[in-house]
Amino acid sequence: MSRVFNFSAGPAVLPVEVLEQAQSEMLDWRSSGMSVMEMSHRGKDFMEIAQQAEADLRELLAVPSNYKILFLQGGASTQFALMPMNFVKPGSKAGYIITGSWSQKAVKEAGKWCQAVVVADSGSPNYSEVPTQDDLDLGNDLNYVHYTPNETIDGVEFPYIPETGDIPLIADYSSSILSEPIPVEKYGMIYAGAQKNIGCAGLVLVIIREDLLNAKINKLPSIFDYSVLAAADSMYNTPSTYAWYIAGLVFQWLKKLGGLQAMAARNKRKADKLYKAIDDSDFYQNPVSPTCRSRMNVPFTLANPDLDGLFLSEAAQNQLLSLKGHRSVGGMRASIYNAMPEQGVNALIDFMQQFASRNS
C-alpha cells in the first residue's frame, strides 16, 4: 500500500486510523453481520452510532444544551438557501460579511429570497484582509449576520469573532470546524460541510440555537424546515448514514489525540512553518495579510508562473498531490486540515525549497 500526502481542499485527507477502523468494520460492524451502509437508519445499531457521534461532537465543541446538532444532507450550499428561508420573511433583511469566494456565494443565494445586505466587504477581486469590528455596518433590522470564518479558496481566516449584539451570528465553518475550540454560545447557528475536517462528503453539520429553531418565520416544505428536521432528530428522511458513521470515527480520533486544544496547537505549528518557508523565500509568495492567514488553506504563487506546471508534476512525483490552486485564483494551494500529518507539511516544505534552488 502506498499513501500520498493529499493537499486537496475537499474531499480531503482522512486520518489513516479512521480509514483502517472503517475497513475492519466494513463487512461486519460489531458482530451485527452487516456493514453500516446496509443498516436501517432507525434500527438499534445505527441509532447507537448516531447518538454516540452526536455526544462526542457535543463534548469536543462544548455545545451548550440549548443548541440542537443536526446531521443533514445537501452540503453547505444548501444552507446558503435554507438560512434566509428559515430566518427571514421575504423582503426583510439579513446581513453578510464578504471576505472571499464562499461568502460571495452565500450572499448571492440569500438575495434570491430576501434583502441581502452587505455589512462589510474586504475587497473584491483579491481578498487579502478581513474587515475590523468597526468596519461592520450593523443596522438593527437585520435578522442575522452571516460570515465565513475561513475562506477555503482565498486562504483568509478571521482572527476574531464579530460582535453583533442581539442580532444572531451565523457562521459557515466548512473549512475550519474542529481545527480549534469554538465558543458555540456566541453563535445563533454554525454549519459545516463534512468533506474537510469532519469526514466524507454527503453530510453537513448544523448546530442551531433553540430560539432560532422555534421562530417559525415562514411556512416551508418540511425538508427545508430546520424545526422539522430537528424535531425528527435529523431523521425526517433517510440521513447519510455512512458519512454520519465516519464522522463519529473522526470525533473519536480527535478525542484520542487530546481534543481541540491539542488540534489547535498542532495546526498552528503546521501552518506557521509553511508560511515561514514561503515568507523566507523570494521564489514563493502568499498574498494574504499575516494577521488573517488561514491555518487550513495556504495559497501561494511562484515568482514565475511559467513554472507552475513543472512544480505540480514534480510535486506529484514526490507523492505530494492536489496542490493546484482553485481555478478562480490560480497558483497553488496546500490544504492542511486536521488529518494532514506534520510529516506531510515537512515533506512539502523540503520539496518547495529544493524546487526553488533548482529553478532560481
Name the residues that contact ligand PMP, by CB under 6 A.
Answer: 10, 75-77, 102, 148, 152, 172, 174-175, 193
Catalytic site includes residue 270:
no
**In the complex, what is the shortest distance from the CB of residue 76 to ligand PMP, in angstroms, rounded to a whole number?**
4
**In the complex, what is the shortest distance from the CB of residue 77 to ligand PMP, in angstroms, rounded to a whole number?**
3
Q: Are 302 and 358 in contact (CB under 8 A)?
A: no
Cα→Cα distances 212→61, 97, 160, 168, Å: 20, 20, 23, 9
**In the complex, what is the shortest distance from the CB of residue 79 to ligand PMP, in angstroms, rounded to a whole number?**
8
CA 192 to CA 90: how far, in whole Å? 25
Within 10 angstroms of residue 93's Cβ, the number of other Cβ atoms is 18
CA 166 to CA 93: how far, in whole Å? 15
CA 265 to CA 263: how far, in whole Å? 5
**In the complex, what is the shortest distance from the CB of residue 351 to ligand PMP, in angstroms, rounded to a whole number?**
25
- Closer Cβ to ligand PMP, 102 or 244, answer by number: 102
Catalytic site includes residue 306:
no
Q: What string of H, E and C letters represents the secondary structure of the chain?
A: CCCCEECCCCCCCCCHHHHHHHHHCCCCHHHCCCCHHHCCCCCHHHHHHHHHHHHHHHHHHCCCCCEEEEEECCHHHHHHHHHHHHHCCCCCEEEEEECCHHHHHHHHHHCCCCEEEEEEECCCCCCCCCCCHHHCCCCCCEEEEEECCEECCCCEECCCCCCCCCCCEEEECCCCCCCCCCCHHHCCEEEEECCCCCCCCCCEEEEEEHHHHCCCCCCCCHHHCHHHHHHCCCCCCCCCHHHHHHHHHHHHHHHHCCHHHHHHHHHHHHHHHHHHHHHCCCCEECCCCHHHECCCEEEEEECCHHHHHHHHHHHHHCCEECCECCCCCCCEEEECCCCCCHHHHHHHHHHHHHHHHHHC
- Closer Cβ to ligand PMP, 152 or 301, answer by number: 152
Catalytic residue, candidates 102, 113, 244, 253: 102
Catalytic residue, candidates 29, 56, 93, 172: 172
Catalytic residue, candidates 93, 196, 270, 324: 196
- Closer Cβ to ligand PMP, 174 or 241, answer by number: 174
The three cell numbers locating residue 180: 480549534
- Closer Cβ to ligand PMP, 75 or 155, answer by number: 75
Which residue is at the shortest CB distance from ligand PMP?
Answer: 75
Catalytic site includes residue 324:
no
**In the complex, what is the shortest distance from the CB of residue 261 to ligand PMP, in angstroms, rounded to a whole number?**
23
Q: Are 60 and 260 in contact (CB under 8 A)?
A: yes
- Closer Cβ to ligand PMP, 6 or 175, answer by number: 175
- Closer Cβ to ligand PMP, 52 or 73, answer by number: 73
- Closer Cβ to ligand PMP, 191 or 284, answer by number: 191
Catalytic annotation, residues: 102, 172, 196
